[in-house]
Amino acid sequence: MTSRKATSGPADPRFFKRAGPFDAAALAEAAGAELVPARAAPASAGGYTGIAPLQGAGPTDVSFLDNRRYAPLLEQTQAGLVIVAPAFAGKVPDHSAALVTSTPYLTWSRVARLFHPLVPAAPGVHTLACVDPAAHIDPTAEIGPFVVVGPRAEVGAGCIVGPHAVIGEGVQLGRDCRIGSHVVLSHAVLGERVCILPGARIGQDGFGFAVGPNGFETVPQLGRVVLEDDVEIGANSTVDRGSVNDTVIGAGSRLDNLVQIGHNAQLGRCCIVVSQAGISGSTVLEDYVTIAAQAGLIGHIRIGAKARIGAQCGVMSDVEGGADVIGSPAMPFREFFRNVAVLRKLSKKASSSPQGGADKV
């Protein structure tokens, strides 16, 4: 019987494939960081074999520090190689080498990807998949069990389509896309390297109806969803197809789990939409907009480039580029917290007045 005991450190080998070992020079070159050798001991002779947090790392592990509050852990770490900002380079223990960089988290990401590269597609169509004869599957793509691929659908080179996914009629996947289990794609065109996590629904009917004499009448949704290159869609998120115009998610954008994007919405490049946020139909986000968790945006508004929408924010009008807003209705950060301070002051004043407190019967 296989042991259920958890292994120490990250990247359990039951779930994550590992490459390496790598020497410090190779890691420094790949990450674009400056290598500072250990002062009291040579770097690991056999190279570095993996990554680990500061408090759990050993002599053959690579670790990193990106948050000042964890600085005490740096002085105690046993890691053989530590990624740090220049401000912390002098606090790296004598037995540890350092990769010094102005962007420690980005460097950490690149090093971690070296040790744990994306698993390549295993070319072929599973015997339990159902692929329409009129579909085109690139011979280098991987089609998992119980996948359904509709007529005239196209699956590009190097794609991986997970179990029980549905690739609807006419859907196009560019090269190296990764489609998770139970994803449903319809009326959609995907660029290259698009990643969709399990359970997402892309290209379903938008929420459109007209009021007739006998009640609601559904309006046909005749647009598509266009996911540009390097878009990532989180688990159980939904992106509705357009009613007439396309719904577009711009290149490099990231949608968290449980996000709703309404029909005709237009997201620019490298936008971020965090969990449980909802964007109503025909709203436009320019490039590099961030929408925090549980925010809600009404339809037919424009959010300017690099604007940031705070958590649980209710946005009911246009937001200028570069603005930071919070609250419902949304307002600039400073105005919101000034209002909060005034309300607290008034509340304390009322409670301390002779007539403050509970009403007397």
Whether residue 354 is predicted with pLDDT greater than 70 in this model: the reply is no
Give the three-state DSSP class for 137: strand
- Main-chain dihedrals φ then ψ at residue 217, nearest 5 degrees: -125, 125
- A 10 A CB-CB count for 233 gives 29
Alpha-carbon dihedral sign for residues 298, 299, 304, 308: positive
Alpha-carbon dihedral sign for residues 287, 302, 274, 177: negative
Q: Are 278 and 257 in contact (CB under 8 A)?
A: no
- Of the residues 116, 136, 187, 263, which is catalytic? 263
Tell me the C-alpha distance between 345 and 199, whole Å: 47
Q: What's the predicted TM-score (pTM) here?
A: 0.89
> Would you state the pLDDT for residue 1?
46
> Would you state the pLDDT for residue 323?
97
Which residues make Cβ contacts (< 8 Å) with residue 212, sequence separation at least 6? none
What does the pLDDT average to over 130-142?
98
Region for residue 47 given its phi and psi (left: phi exceeds 0; alpha: psi -120 to 50; beta: otherwise): left
DSSP lists the bridge partners of residue 247 as: 225
Whether residue 273 is predicted with pLDDT greater than 80 in this model: the reply is yes
Q: Is residue 95 among the annotated active site residues?
A: no
Reference 190, options 214, 147, 226, 165; nearest CA is 226
Q: What is the DSSP letter of 319?
A: B
The bridge status of strand 324-326 relative to strand 331-332 is antiparallel
- Main-chain dihedrals φ then ψ at residue 147, nearest 5 degrees: -75, 140
If one compares 118 and 43, the residue with the highest pLDDT of the two is 118
Q: What is the per-residue pLDDT across 287-304, written as a single tens digit (0 to 9) for each?
A: 999 999 999 999 999 999
The helix or strand, by DSSP H or E, that contains position 61, with its residue range, turns out to be strand 61-64
Q: For all residues of the chain together, what is the average pLDDT?
A: 93
Q: Are 130 and 149 in contact (CB under 8 A)?
A: yes
Tell me the C-alpha distance between 205 and 349, whole Å: 53
Tell me the C-alpha distance between 11 and 86, whole Å: 28
Q: Are 272 and 289 in contact (CB under 8 A)?
A: yes
Q: What is the per-residue pLDDT across 146-165, written as a single tens digit (0 to 9) for each?
A: 999 999 999 999 999 999 99
